[in-house]
Every structure is written in C-alpha cells, then in structure tokens.
A and B are shown apart, each in its own frame.
Chain A
C-alpha cells in the first residue's frame, strides 16, 4: 500500500490529510459548545476596558504575564481563586499567556490600585525595586483608540451575541453615548492619578492609553 501511495501523490496527500485532521475532530469539536458558556453574572467589558485590552495586546503584555490561575494551593494563595472556564467566555482572544517572567494578572484588580499601576507603568522599580520590567512611558502620551474598541464591542454584539445592553448589564448604546461613558469612566480613574498631562488630556476629552490600560487591569478580578 505504501509503495502505491508513494507513486500516487494525490492519494498520498489525501492520506496524510486524513491522518492529521483526525485528532482535531476528536479533541476539539465535542466540547466546543460547553466551553463557551459564561459563568453566572459575567458581564462583557466596557468600551474603555476593551481599549485597555487592545493596548495589553499591542504592547504584548502576554509575553511575560499569564492570566490563568492553576488549581494549586501555591497559586491560589498567591493570586486568588482558581480560574474558571466560564470567566473567559467573552474574551476574544484568550490572553492566558505561556510564560510568567512577571506574576499572573488574572485577578490583579483585587489587590492593586490605580495609583500603584500609575507609578509602576511609569517606572516599575519605583514600586518593585528589583523589577526587570520595562517602563511604559509612551502609554502616558499615546491616545487610546476608543473608536476601535467601540467597533469591537459592536462586532461581538452583532456577530457573537455578546450580551451588551441587557438589563443590569454593560451598556453599549450609540457611539456618542459610548464616547461619553468612556470619558466618565476615565475621569473616575484620573481622580486617583497624579500625572498632570494625563489629567489635562482627559479634562480635554482625550483618553491616554495608560487610563484605558488601568481600567482594564482594575477590571481583572
């Protein structure tokens, strides 16, 4: 049979394809619907938080930080409750990461504050003297892309039925409403910040990346 296959490239290729596709069919498909169910009470992220998530992606925080607390006592002691599948139901993409050069961040919102993040992102060694994390000063001047974050929320609402605009849920509304809401949310964060340029920018209706980033990190709980 193998000699015959080696003389018939088409059937050879078909054979290889069947053999490699097999595992995916059995391992991935059966559980697909189950794994996309949210935990009770899970709310989709606000537009400002989504903008923060996009900065988290843009600056590739996942190169060094995980968002997955494994079921070991040493991990739950350090980072909090073990991660559940349903908590990630609205995360596109998943941001579990694969390396912890820095600590896990899945519940960082429970134990770090806005001003801690502000100091840390400006100069990590100011709060953690031995830190090897780079400073992200450009986040204090770059302006966050709120429009794309809103576009993302609209997309997941339309295409994947992510439950925005439900009673007691996250409100999305029109672009004008969303802009206003994002700015309000940003102002609450800058109230706890000290960087004058950032405060001025938000007062003038612009949201620097750092504010969206902190909104996202505070929402990781």
Chain B
C-alpha cells in the first residue's frame, strides 16, 4: 500500500560532512591567513620551528581548503540533495548507510593523517597532488566508496530522470578519478631497492612529460573540484531557496556538455613558454578562451533564473550569497582565459596575479556557494531556523570586502612584479634586481594579509551561526518550502 506521507530523508552522513566542512574551513583559512601574513611579515615564519615556514605550510593550506573544506562541502551537499532529487531515502538501504558512514570516517581519518604527513615534509612535491603513495591508495578507496554511494542510490531511485546537479556530481567523480590515477603513478623506491624510506617514491614520468601530466591534473582539479560540483550545488540550491525554476534546460545542457569537452584541453595553459611543444601551448590558450562559453552559460542561467524576482536579493541573504557566487564565477572564468593568452601570460605567469585569480574564484565562488548550501540545508537537517539573519548579513559584507581587497591587491602586485622583471633601461640592461621586485610588494602583501583576517573572521561568523542553528535556535514544526527561515 502506498503511503501519501512525505518521504523522511536520512541526513546522518550529510551532517557529518557538514561538521568537517566547518572544521577544515577554519583550519585551512587560519593557515592561509598565517602564510599570507608571513609574506608581509617574515618573522612569522618562526612560530613553529621547522614546521612553521611558509614553504612547509603552503601545501598544507591548499590541501586543507581543497580536499578538507571543499570536498566536505561537496559530500555534505551530495548526501543531502542526492536523496531528494532521486526521491529515495538512504535509510531504505542498510548497505548504502554503511558505505556512506565508512566513506566519511575513512575520509576524516585519512585527511588528518594526510595533513600531518605534509607537515612532516613527506611529499612528492607535485602541486595539489602532494601526498605520498600510501595516502594515495587510501584516497582511491575513499573515492571508490563515494562512487558506490552515487551509483548505489541511483540504483534504487524512484525518480527516473537524473537532475542536473547529479550530472555534475557524476562528472566530478569520474573526472577526478581519471586524472588522479594518472598523475599519481609512482614507483615506491623501497620495493625496488629494498632499502631507504618505505614512504618514498619516484614519479613514473620525468621532466617535461611529468609537467604535462601534472598540469593536466592541476588545472582539472580546479575543474572537477572547484567548478563542477559547485555548479551542481547552485543548480539545486538557487531554485530551491528562491522558488524559481531553472531558466533554461537547453542552456544547462549546452553548458554541461560544453564544459566537459572543453575544460581538459585547457590544462597546458599552465605551461606557456615552457618546454612543452608549441602546438600544445596554443591549444591550451585557444580552449581556455572557448571555455568562457560553457562557464558563462551556467552563470547566466543562474542569473536569469532570478528574472523578475530580484527583490529576493534584498530580502534573503542566502540569495545574495548565491548571486554573488555566480557573479564571481563569471569574473573568475573571464580572468582565467585572459591570463591564458600568451602575451598576457608572459607577464602574469609566476607572479601574484595567479594566486589573486585563484582566490577570487575560491573565496568569491566556491566558499560562498558552499556556505549558502550548508545554510539552506541546516533548517531542513536540524529542523531549526537559522540562528541570526543579522549575523548573516554582516558576514556577507565582511567577506565580500575581503575578497575585493584580496584580488585587487594581488592584481596590482602581480602586474607590478611582471613589469619590473622585464623592465630595461635605455641601453637594454635590466633595471631592477630581483629583490627590488620583492621589496616593492610589501604594501600589497600587507593588504592581502588583512583581507585574509577579514575573510577568516567572516568564516568564524558562519561557523558560529551554524553551530547555534544546530543547537539552540527556534525549532520548526514542518519543513520550510523555499525560503529558509531565519531569526
């Protein structure tokens, strides 16, 4: 007999990942703020001896925010909305509940061990793929568990058609799996030679090939961790929060398949003017520019979803977060292709403009979207209203200011440095020694450190608001339809 009662979804796994998103967010951004400050005030390098230098901490910062905070957010949202768009509860399958929880706990313990390993200096020194081979194996297992979760829950679905968000989660799963496996191919030296450290390995590829495989990964880690699953989130949370249907199905089709096809080609734009063949560099440049189309396709689709409903922007801070996120997504996906043009890259490469670009993407787009998603989920998972709207508003403006300070200071720093490196006097001699180009950046590094502090404070406000929402906010009797209730 069929029951008419609404399905009760099981959020236990989504809640666990929500907690770690908050935890790793605080940790990763604190370290980020510290290393940003070290560049302005080098004495800060000596707080924790050997383990506190900029160089040791930089990969800790990047991996904790990428694989700690962002992936936690990706999985929290997946375990929340996956059930809902497929109209099936995780509680209906003991097996899937078990896999979900195993996925979480293995990930949590793995992330802690991995972070400690980088502090110890155990690394294969490939950016965003630093972990040594034993941790790589654990990561593969974690990833396979997520795959089982995705396709397991799809297997028992009631809604036959996969919603747009799921397309993106599936793409994230497949893309990262393929890229990660190839880039981390390495030979553990202990097993060949029978001596030395058991943790050490050498890359399967050498020199230029290694660079190509690495940046094929490095670039597409951005694609499949910072873009694809975040687009998945906005396709679900913006319509849900605003009560508006997605503007255009055709545009979402074009954007999805376009993004999938084009993104990978662009990897070689990280290697312009390097020793990889010219034709690859040119391909990287061209496809980077083409990439504007599918990126802006998604973003415009989101903005048009709000057509005729712009009053919500003033009334609902969560809409504000999401609209700003898609705007920053547009900014960042225009800026990237500009930097990928060879003549621009000649100035921009190796300078602070690159971290500037990364951070307007991650701070403005990724973190804003993840936070908005978690805020939307909180009243539905914990059955309480959001603790404070005022705090939410204050956080929004504080963090927006921080992002603007971050990218403007780094744009100026990067272009200044790039121009000074190449400046010559009337006889064609270099005008500046290298250290001149470092010293001149001090004010911009100081501004960036300040922006880090502001952003971190904003994130702590988010954490506080979330914890209060979970524990002591007013209880709700029934699930809110669209707009999330907040006090």
Contacts and interface: CB of A to CB of B under 8 A. Distances in A.
A155 B192 contact: yes
B354 A98 contact: yes
Interface stretch (B18-26, B120-128, B362-370): B120-128
A98 B127 contact: yes
B276 A145 contact: no
A16 B212 CA distance: 22
B208 interface: yes
A203 interface: no
A70 B178 CA distance: 31
B193 to A, nearest CB: 4
Interface in B275-293: 275-277, 280, 283, 287
B205 interface: yes
Given A71-B273, A99-B354, A60 B58 contact: yes
Contacts of B187: 155, 159
Interface in B194-249: 194-197, 200, 202-203, 205-214, 216
B422 A74 contact: yes
Contacts of A152: 189, 193, 196, 200, 202
Interface in A40-84: 54, 56-64, 66, 68, 70-75, 77-78, 83-84
Interface stretch (B4-12, B44-52, B91-99): B44-52
A191 interface: no
A35 B209 contact: yes
Interface string A82-124: 0111111111111111111111000000000000000000000
Instruction: Find the residue from B260, B264, B424 having the highest chain A CB count within 10 A.
Output: B264
Contact of A134 (B45, B257, B261, B273): B45
B160 interface: yes
A147 interface: yes
B210 A91 contact: yes
Contact of A132 (B39, B346, B422): B39
Given A20-B174, A89-B206, A96 B274 contact: yes
B206 A78 contact: no
Interface in B125-156: 125-127, 151, 154
Interface residues of B, number: 91
Nearest to A141: B50
Contacts of A72: 273, 346, 422
Contacts of B126: 93
A93 B124 contact: yes
Interface string B55-70: 1101100000000000
Contacts of A73: 428
A155 B354 CA distance: 36
Contacts of A142: 50
A205 B261 CA distance: 57
Given A60-B58, A132-B42, A6 B162 contact: yes
B195 A150 contact: yes
Nearest to A64: B55
A36 interface: yes
B355 A99 contact: yes
B432 to A, nearest CB: 10
A147 B422 contact: no
Nearest to B195: A151
A27 B283 contact: yes
B477 interface: no
Interface in B446-473: none
A37 B423 CA distance: 35
Interface stretch (B72-80, B382-390, B434-442): B434-442
**Chain A contact residues: helix, strand, loop or mixed:** helix
A23 to B, nearest CB: 4
B124 A9 contact: no
Given A27-B267, A95-B125, A19 B424 contact: no
Interface in A6-36: 6-7, 9, 12-13, 16-17, 19-24, 27-28, 31-32, 35-36
Contacts of A175: 195
B351 interface: yes
Contact of B171 (A16, A23, A60, A102): A16
B211 A96 contact: yes
Contacts of B438: 101-102, 130-132
Nearest to A53: B125
A20 B209 contact: no
B279 to A, nearest CB: 9
Interface in A145-192: 145, 147-152, 154-156, 158-160, 175
Contacts of B194: 151
A68 B274 contact: yes
A146 to B, nearest CB: 9
B196 A145 contact: yes
A99 B267 CA distance: 17
A159 B192 contact: yes
Interface in B257-312: 257, 260-261, 263-265, 267-268, 270, 273-277, 280, 283, 287
17 contacts: A20-B178, A24-B182, A24-B264, A58-B122, A63-B59, A68-B274, A70-B274, A78-B430, A78-B434, A83-B275, A88-B208, A99-B354, A132-B438, A134-B38, A145-B196, A158-B192, A159-B187
Nearest 9 A/B pairs, CB to CB: A88-B207, A151-B196, A148-B196, A134-B45, A23-B264, A58-B121, A85-B275, A57-B125, A100-B350
Given A134-B55, A151-B195, 18 more contacts: A13-B174, A19-B260, A22-B264, A28-B216, A35-B275, A54-B200, A60-B125, A63-B54, A70-B273, A72-B273, A72-B346, A93-B203, A98-B127, A102-B438, A131-B438, A138-B49, A138-B50, A151-B192
Interface of A: 2-3, 6-7, 9, 12-13, 16-17, 19-24, 27-28, 31-32, 35-36, 54, 56-64, 66, 68, 70-75, 77-78, 83-103, 128, 130-136, 138, 142, 145, 147-152, 154-156, 158-160, 175
